[in-house]
Structure 1
Amino acid sequence: MLRLRKFGIKNWLYRIAIALTAMLVAVGWSHWSKDSAIAQVALKRTEVNSPELVAVRSGFCQSSLEAAIESIIGSPEFTRARWGIQIEPLSDPTVLYSHNGDLPLIPASNVKLLTTAAALRIIDIRTPQDLSTVDNLVTEINRESDNELADYLLRHIGGRNVVKQLLASIGVSANSYEQVDGSGLSRSNRAEPSTFIALLKAMHAQNLYSGMFYHSLSVAGVNGTLRNRFRNTFIQGRVHAKTGTLNGVRALSGYLDNLDYGALAFSIMVNQPGQSGQVMVDAIDRIVLNAAQVSRCS
C-alpha cells in the first residue's frame, strides 16, 4: 500500500472509473520522437548476458535475417520450445520476420502492455498534476513490472472485458488474446505475437498519448527490467520494450531502432518448461541484435 499512496493511485483510479463510464479519450500529449538513426559501430557482446551471445554482421538483407533467426530458434536446446516471433516496421506493412505470429502463447508480463494501453485509452488528462500521476503509474507498471499496481489498475478500469473493448477500437483483435489478470502472473493468459504488434503500432499512431506509452517502457542497458541487457552493444538505449518472465517463459515486446527501416515493432515469446531462463533470454537478445541490423537490399 505504500507504493499506492506514493503515487496517489486511489484517488486517480476513482477518476479513471468515472472516465470509463463516460468513455473519455485521453488528450494532451505530443508524439514521441521517431528519430531512429543509430551509430555505425561494430557490434560487441552483451556485457551482462552469457558470453555465448555472439556478435553478428553489421547490415544484411531480410533473407539473411530469416536464416540467422532460424539458426537460433532451431538450435538443439530449443527442440521442445514453442516460439512466437513477429517483427515489422512501424512505417509500412512489411513483415520482416514471422514465426508462429498467430500462435497463442503464455506472454507473462507482456500482458501489462494490454492493461496500460487500455487505461491510457480512457484517461481524461485535465491538469499537469493528473498527467504526472498517470505518467508515474504507467511507467512503474511497464518499466519496473509492478504486478500489484497492474492488477489494481485492471480492476479499476473495469476488468478484462473493458480492455478488449477499448483495444478493439484501435485495431487489436479481441480474439487474438485471452487476458486473465493485469500483471501477467497467471499462466492462463494467452496472446499471439501479432497481438502485441497490433498494439504497439496502434499506440504509436495515437497522437495524444503515444509518448507516454513509449517512454514508460524499459530502455536497453539503461533502466527498468532491461537495465542489464544489451549493455555495451550498439543498440544500448535503442530498444524500448516490456520484458516477460515466468518459469519456462520469456518474452520481449516493444520498439527497436533500425538504421534502414526506422523504428520496428517486435514481439518475441518462447515457452519451454524446464529450460534455463538465461538460455531463453540470450536467444531473444540475439534475435533483437540481428533485427537491429537488417537492411533494405535492392
Structure 2
Amino acid sequence: MNGNACPEHGPPSEPEHRFCEVCGRNLVTGELASLSVPTIWLSSRAAGASCAACGAAYVDEDAYCDHCGRRRSIGRDHAELDLGTVAGVTDRGLRRRRNEDAVAVGRAGSVNAAVVCDGVSTSTRSDAAAYGAAEAGLGTLLAALARGVDPPKATVEGARAAAAAARAAAAGPDAGDTPPSCTYVSGIVTADAVTVGWIGDSRAYWLGPDPSCLTVDDSVAGQLAAGRSVPATLDADPGSRALIRWLGADSDDVEAQVVSLRPAAPGRVLLCSDGLHHYLSDPSALAAASSGRLIDVARHLTTVALDGGGHDNIAVAVLSYSPSGGSVP
C-alpha cells in the first residue's frame, strides 16, 4: 500500500480514515471489505509529515526529526474521532512528552466497535505497539463482523491480529531489552448485545442501569482484588500495578478475555486507558458524567483526567447501546 491511499480510488477524504469510502478497502492491510456491509473506521494516528516539536517537514521515513532530533510521534498529542454512534478522544496529558495511547473507532453496517490501546511506558517505542495493535485489532474485528462472524469470535480474531502487530513493532535495531508493548481493550455494540475483550489493564465499563466495570485488570492488584492468584514469580503486593498480561514481543499470553451481556435498557459502553480510570474509576460516577453526545462525553472525561493531574496519556472511547427489543439483563 502507498501510505493510506487506495490504489484504485486514491487517498480518503480525511487523512485519519483507514478505509476507502468508495470500495471499502482496508487502507492498512490492503484487503477489500465486503461491499454488502459498509465499513468505516478512524484512528488517532498522526496524519501529517511535520514534526510536532518544531514544525519542520520530515524528509524521509526516519524515526527522528532531522531538524530538532525529536523522535517522530506516531500519535497525535490530542485527537477527537466522531462517528456519531461511537466516538473517541485521546490526549498526551500534562506530564508525558508524547502520546503513546491509541484509539480507533469504527462501524460495520449498523454494528459499532472501538479499540483502546495504552502503550506501556517502560517499554521502547510503546506507541508503535499501541498503534499497530489498535489499527490491526479494529480492522480485523470489523472485517470479521462484515463476514458475519459473531461478536465474541470477532473479538478474539481482532485481539490476535493486535498481538501480531504489537510483536511486529519490535522489528528494528532499537527495540532493546524492553520491546514495544501495550495493553488492549475492544468493544462491540450490536442491536441486542455488548461484547468486550481485553489484555492488560485498559478497562471497559457498562454505563446504564446498574453500571459496572466489565473487565478485570491483568495486573497483580487487579487479580488479587478479584480473588484470583498471580504467578509465584511476582510480588503479591495487593497494591502493585505490575502487569501480568500485555501485548508485545515478550508476551506469550495473548488470548483476549471476552465478556458479553444483553442489557434490557439503553446505555453506553466506555473503553479507557488508566490515564482516566486512575482518576475516575467508580462505575456510578462515570455513568453520572456520561450524559450528552458521545463525543462530548469523551471530551468531558478526558478533561476530568487532565483536571485531576493528567499524569499519563489518556484514551477514551464511548459507544451507544439501544436494544432492539426482547433483550434480557
TM-score range, shorter chain: under 0.3
Report which of the two has the higher share of helix.
1
TM-score normalized by the length of structure 2: 0.25
Greater RCO between the two (CA within 8 Å, min separation 6)? Answer: 1
Report which of the two has the higher share of strand.
2
TM-score normalized by the length of structure 1: 0.27
